[in-house]
């Protein structure tokens, strides 16, 4: 017998039984896409082509096609890199950490957020590659035997740590994601009519038969991978932050960066989850599974991590003043009042002030508000990284101070990665089971409306009303 919380809202609405869930989740795969999907796909695809065009131009001509200069050696490239890596974090957090903490509400969203992680890491991984002056030598960042004899990589360099951190993260996330997908693929396989689809899903499901032994192994490996992935949630962004923290650049050289980056990453990642799922639940008709309550949970995490980030910003300012180090003080003063004050202002508004509105229950349960706020967080988190990186424009020697502005290639590359990301996500949404249905089915008994009609804190009429509202939205 499952323990039923008397106060928690149900996580599956709409009187779904096990079969309903199967049908609902298989529907996007088995039916044709609607116009909205095609429209969005066309736009994203165009943006993706633009990305590849920009990259080709960049590699063909030189990094000089970006707006970088002798003082500002990184700008949009690494901003985008950190932003995308950060977005990836929510997925791992949801699937690994929430699994370990036995948070059931993760079940409706973990699949998509993991997909988001992987697609975001793909975007992120592009930037360290294309920002290199000689991308054709990129393989030198791996400790490979080479023609230079004993020449090895530099293990002191945080960029090298990045290589390991990101590649580990990507592979663990991918495996974890795939493990969860196997029973669901098997479900699709079993329902597939089209012989080609059947073949493909048969291959993808690795011969899953649903035997108890399979389930047992699946459970174990999920737990092991969750254990493996959990430290990665902390390590990846900590290491990314060390690109900055281990440098001597005032404004970068800060010990607060690892926790602050991790909190920021979760903050930004959950916002991306919101953005994607708010659209997906509507377009794929999954309101019964991704409910207002799910939104609210995520909003609470956004509120908490946003507040942590806000504290970090203030701590940075305080420490800069308290340190008595002039370069440090100036770096922060310049951030807030210098030529990029607007970026700082956007960051502060979007990341610190706007999430505080989530204290209001009405707002955090409002879908439109959530959607807009998530966009704010994306903007804020992008500018957070930009504000940090652009500190380079005023280094210790005023003689080399120089501002920076992006060229169309940098803007195109960024917009293009958004397109690429959406292309991947849209393709995923029509070929993959977007909700981990096998796992979700484990809570049908404990927290769906169908099996919990007699919960006394809500009467049936009220539940019906909630179901209706959910449907409408």
Partner 1 sequence: MKKQKKYFKSPYIKGNEEYLHNEFSEKLPLDGLFEDDKQLSSTATSRRDFLKFLGFSTAAAVLSSCEAPVRKSIPYLNKPEEIIPGNPNFYASSCFEENVFSSLLVKTREGRPISIKSNDKYLFNQGGLNARTYASVLSLYDSSRLREPQDKEGVFLENVDKKVVDRLTKINNQGKQIVLITPTIISPTAKKVIALFSKKYKNVKVVYCDSISKSGILDSNKDCFGDRFIPTYEFQKSSVIVSFGADFISEWIDTGHAKQYGKTRTPGEEMSKHYQFESLLSLTGANSDKRIPVNPEEQLKCMLYLLEKIEELKGVKQSVNIQLDKHQKILDVIANELWANKGKSLVLCGSNNKDEQVITNYINNLLDNYGKTILTQVRSNLFSSNDNDLDIVIKDALDGKVGAIITNDYNLAYHYPKSKEILESNKIDFKASISQYLDETASMMDFVIPKSNYLESWGDFNPYTGVFTLQQPTISPIFETRQSEEILLNWSGDKTSYYNYLKKSFESEKKNWNDTLRDGVYIKQQSEKKYSFSVNITKHINNCLNMLEDKKEFICLYSKSSMGSGLQSNNPWLQELPDPISKTTWDNYLTISPAYAKKLNLKNWQVADGALNGDVVDLSFNEQVYRLPVYIQPGQAYGTFGLSFGYGRIKAGKVGNNIGVNAFELYDGNQLVQKDNFSIKKVDNMEHEFACTQISHTMMGRAIVKETSLSEYLKDPESGNEAMKFASYKGDVSPSELKLYEEHKPAMHFWNMSIDLNKCNGCGACIIACHAENNVPVVGKEEIRKNRDMHWLRLDRYYSSDMNKDLAAEQNTGAIQMYSEMEEASSAENLEVVFQPVMCQHCNNAPCENVCPVAATTHSNEGLNQMTYNRCIGTRYCLNNCPYKVRRFNWFNYKDNDNFDYNMNDDLGKMVLNPDVTVRARGVMEKCSMCIQNIQKAKLDAKKEGRKVRDGEIDCACETACDTGAIVFGDILDKSSRVVKEKKDPRSYVLLEELNTQPSVFYKTKVRNKKV
Considering beta carbons, is residue 62 or 210 the nearer one to partner 1? 62
CA distances from 47 to 38, 230, 403 (A): 14, 34, 28
* Least Å from the CB of residue 75 to partner 1: 10
448: phi then psi, degrees, rounded to nearest 5: -115, 160
Considering beta carbons, is residue 249 or 304 the nearer one to partner 1? 249
Considering beta carbons, is residue 126 or 276 the nearer one to partner 1? 126
* Least Å from the CB of residue 273 to partner 1: 31
- The CA-CA-CA angle for residues 159, 164, 167, to 5°, reads 115
CA distances from 301 to 113, 296, 341, 398 (A): 14, 9, 28, 42
* Least Å from the CB of residue 109 to partner 1: 36
Neighbours of 14 (CB within 10 A): 19
Considering beta carbons, is residue 163 or 298 the nearer one to partner 1? 163
* Least Å from the CB of residue 54 to partner 1: 16
* Least Å from the CB of residue 406 to partner 1: 9
Considering beta carbons, is residue 399 or 454 the nearer one to partner 1? 399
* Least Å from the CB of residue 405 to partner 1: 4
User: How crowded is the C-beta side of 35, counted as CA atoms within 13 Å?
Assistant: 0
d(CA 216, CA 163): 34
d(CA 111, CA 100): 16
* Least Å from the CB of residue 385 to partner 1: 14
Considering beta carbons, is residue 235 or 247 the nearer one to partner 1? 247
The token duo for 148 is: 């230079």
d(CA 308, CA 384): 14
Beta bridge partners of 146: 149
Considering beta carbons, is residue 63 or 97 the nearer one to partner 1? 63
The string of DSSP letters for 282-333 reads HHTT-TTTS-HHHHHHHHHHHHHHHHHHHHHHHHHHHHHHHH--HHHHHHHH
d(CA 473, CA 467): 10
Considering beta carbons, is residue 141 or 226 the nearer one to partner 1? 141
* Least Å from the CB of residue 135 to partner 1: 8
The token duo for 460 is: 């049936």
Q: Which residues contact 336 (CB under 8 A, 6 or more apart)?
A: 317, 344
* Least Å from the CB of residue 388 to partner 1: 12
d(CA 466, CA 287): 11
Considering beta carbons, is residue 15 or 71 the nearer one to partner 1? 71
13: left (phi over 0), alpha (psi -120 to 50) or beta: beta
63: left (phi over 0), alpha (psi -120 to 50) or beta: alpha
Considering beta carbons, is residue 403 or 464 the nearer one to partner 1? 403
* Angle between the N-to-C axes of helices 35-61 and 110-130, in degrees from 0 to 180, rounded to the nearest 10: 20
The stretches of 192-291 forming alpha helices (DSSP H) are: 195-204, 212-245, 257-283
The token duo for 294 is: 């799910």
* Least Å from the CB of residue 130 to partner 1: 11
Considering beta carbons, is residue 101 or 139 the nearer one to partner 1? 139
* Least Å from the CB of residue 173 to partner 1: 23
* Least Å from the CB of residue 336 to partner 1: 9
* Angle between the N-to-C axes of helices 367-389 and 76-92, in degrees from 0 to 180, rounded to the nearest 10: 130
Binding site for partner 1 (CB under 8 A): 61-64, 67-71, 73-74, 128, 131-135, 137-138, 140-141, 148, 151-154, 156-160, 163, 243, 246-249, 325-327, 329-330, 333-334, 337, 339, 392-393, 395-405
Considering beta carbons, is residue 117 or 238 the nearer one to partner 1? 238
d(CA 433, CA 191): 12
């Amino acid at each position: 017998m499952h323990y039923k919380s008397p106060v928690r809202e149900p996580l599956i609405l709409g009187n779904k039984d096990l079969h309903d869930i199967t049908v609902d989740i298989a529907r996007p795969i088995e039916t044709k896409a609607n116009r909205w999907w095609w429209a969005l796909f066309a736009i994203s695809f165009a943006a993706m082509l633009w990305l590849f065009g920009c990259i080709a131009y960049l590699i063909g001509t030189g990094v000089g096609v970006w707006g970088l200069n002798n003082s500002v050696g990184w700008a949009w490239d690494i901003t985008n890199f950190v932003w995308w890596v950060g977005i990836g974090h929510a997925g791992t957090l949801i699937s690994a950490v929430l699994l370990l903490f036995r948070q059931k509400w993760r079940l409706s969203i973990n699949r998509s957020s993991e997909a988001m992680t992987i697609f975001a890491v793909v975007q992120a991984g592009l930037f360290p590659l294309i920002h290199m002056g000689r991308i054709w030598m990129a393989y030198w960042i791996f400790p490979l035997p080479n023609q230079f004899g004993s020449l090895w990589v530099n293990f002191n360099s945080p960029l090298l740590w990045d290589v390991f951190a990101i590649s580990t993260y990507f592979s663990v996330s991918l495996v974890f994601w795939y493990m969860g997908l196997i029973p669901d693929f098997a479900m699709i396989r079993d329902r597939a009519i089209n012989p080609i689809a059947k073949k493909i899903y048969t291959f993808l499901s690795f011969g899953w038969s649903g035997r108890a032994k399979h389930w047992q192994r699946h459970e174990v490996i999920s737990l092991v991978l969750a254990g493996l992935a959990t430290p990665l949630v902390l390590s990846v962004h900590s290491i990314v932050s060390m690109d900055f923290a281990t440098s001597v650049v005032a404004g970068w050289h800060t010990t607060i960066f690892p926790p602050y980056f991790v909190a920021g990453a979760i903050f930004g990642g959950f916002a991306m989850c919101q953005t994607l799922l708010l659209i997906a639940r509507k377009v794929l008709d999954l309101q019964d599974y991704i409910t207002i309550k799910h939104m609210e949970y995520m909003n609470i995490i956004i509120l908490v991590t946003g507040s942590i980030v806000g504290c970090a910003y203030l701590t940075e300012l305080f420490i800069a003043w308290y340190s008595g180090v002039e370069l440090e003080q100036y770096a922060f003063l310049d951030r807030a009042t210098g030529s990029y004050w607007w970026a700082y202002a956007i960051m502060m508004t979007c990341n610190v002030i706007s999430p505080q509105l989530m204290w209001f229950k009405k707002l955090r349960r409002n879908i439109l508000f959530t959607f807009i706020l998530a966009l704010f967080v994306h903007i804020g988190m992008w500018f957070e990284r930009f504000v940090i990186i652009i500190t380079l424009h005023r280094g210790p020697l005023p003689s080399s101070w120089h501002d920076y502005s992006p060229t169309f290639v940098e803007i195109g590359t960024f917009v293009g990665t958004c397109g690429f990301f959406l292309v991947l996500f849209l393709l995923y949404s029509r070929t993959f089971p977007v909700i981990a249905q096998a796992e979700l089915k484990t809570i049908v008994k404990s927290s769906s409306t169908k099996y919990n009609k007699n919960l006394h804190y809500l009467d049936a009429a009220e539940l019906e009303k909630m179901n209706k509202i959910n449907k409408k939205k």
